[in-house]
Amino acid sequence: MEDIFTIRDLNLYYGKNHALKNMDIALKKNKVTALIGPSGCGKSTFLRCLNRMNDLIENCTITGQIIYDNDNINVEKYNVIELRKKVGMVFQKPNPFPMSIYENVIYGPKCQGLTDKAILDELVEDSLKKAALWDEVKDRLNTSALSLSGGQQQRLCIARTIAMDPDVILMDEPTSALDPISTKKIEELMETLKNNYTIVIVTHSMQQAARISDYTAFFLMGEIVEYDLTDIIFSNPAQQQTEDYVTGRFG
């Protein structure tokens, strides 16, 4: 099976704090990979390496190779705009822009210079359908995105990411701010999305990881303790620490 991301000897420092240590991992294409582990173990930091979001943080140094599409993206000269067009991100708290629903979806493509109204209309409909939101909002595309419920806002953020036609969607605890019903909808959505996209999701909920992911990586204190098929991680992990965590003995 094809790997979409190959990470070799990745180390990350916030100032002197060694946050990610010697990570080697290959993420599979068109699969859902869940990153689990206790708070502060580096899973979000790792996720943000994949679209170079850590660039925004001062005093953050990253060494090692992050190979995406045969190119090492962890070099200064790599075009980070192109990378982020292909590797989208959905955040922990729904963060639609305070614009209309329509404007939210076309934000990315518009920044790339797409202005043809007909194409944009089609893109909005298509993206919202893929994000399972179209039926709920098709009559009020021009109302403020902030008038939507939290769960709808999060699906709008997914639609906004899909509108860029990415290869990969990174999700940083996308349901942690949502109620159980909205969470279920997002999880069902991920199920359909994985046919077309590679999904890497950070989650605090082990049940969620077990339900939705194909592969799971267990992070602890800045290291990847174990990475395998989700079924194996949850039923027969190789490491004692993994077993302790997934059975709820700590964390």
Partner 1 sequence: MLNHKFGINFVKYAMYLSLILLIAFIALIIGYIVLEGLAQLNLDLLISSNPLIVSTLMLIGIALIVAIPLGIFSAIYMQMYAKQGRIISLIRFSIDSLTGIPSIIYGLFALSFFIYYFGLNRSIFAAGLAMAIVILPVLIKNTEEAIKTIERSQIEASLALGATKYDTVTKVVVPFCLDGIINGVILSIGRIIGETAAIMFVIGTLNGFPTSIFEPSATLATHLYLILQEPTYAQGGIQEAYSLALILLLIVIILNVLVKFVEKYFKKKRGY
Contacts of 61 (CB under 8 A, 6+ apart): 12, 13
The answer to the question of residue 107 lying near partner 1 (CB under 8 A) is yes
The answer to the question of residue 177 lying near partner 1 (CB under 8 A) is no
- For the chain, the farthest-separated pair of C-alpha atoms sits apart, in whole angstroms, at 57
223-229 and 215-220: which strand pairing?
antiparallel
Only segment of 3-11, 27-35, 51-59, 65-73 that touches partner 1 (CB under 8 A):
51-59
- 42 or 88: whose CB is closer to partner 1? 88
Q: Which of 37, 42, 108, 151 binds partner 1 (CB under 8 A)?
A: 108
How many helices (H) and strands (E) would you count in the chain?
10, 10
- 89 or 225: whose CB is closer to partner 1? 89
* Binding footprint of partner 1, residue count (CB under 8 A): 31
Beta strands in the chain (DSSP E): 3-14, 17-28, 32-36, 60-68, 71-72, 87-90, 168-172, 198-202, 215-220, 223-229
Q: Which of 18, 21, 84, 184 binds partner 1 (CB under 8 A)?
A: 84
Q: Please name the amino acid found at residue 111.
A: C
Interface residues with partner 1 (CB under 8 A) are 51, 53, 56, 58, 81-82, 84-85, 88-89, 91-93, 95, 97-100, 102-103, 107-108, 111-112, 142, 144, 146, 157, 160-161, 164
